[in-house]
Amino acid sequence: MPRITRRFRPIMMTTMAALLGGVPLMLGTGTGSEIRQPLGYAMVGGLIVSQALTLFTTPVVYLYLDRLSNAFENWGRSGDIEGEPPADSHSVKQAAE
């Protein structure tokens, strides 16, 4: 669990810094604000969507690729050629633990 927070915290800090930098553009009033407001909305909305997609889809993609690699692990091999036992298979989940 500590590895997750070690990776998660810098990602969230970077995103929040950029997002909070776009809030004054989004909420600003005054001369020329009608030009800058769409940029602020695009920045904040884009960062929220990209952060959500990154946090939810990346682990799913890695899990599916791990399952796919496990399914094709011995595909195309004709078995024990030189009398050596097959190497132990380790999945990404096992290596992470």
SS (H, E, C) 36-91: HHHHHHHHHHHHHHHHHHHHHHHHHHHHHHHHHHHHCCCCCCCCCCCCCCCCCCCC
In the prediction, which pLDDT does 20 show? 93
In the prediction, which pLDDT does 93 show? 59
User: Tokens in use for 37?
Assistant: 């407001």
Whether pLDDT at 5 is above 90: no
What is the per-residue pLDDT across 36-94, written as a single tens digit (0 to 9) for each? Answer: 999 999 999 999 999 998 888 888 888 899 999 888 887 776 655 555 555 555 556 56
Whether pLDDT at 31 is above 80: yes
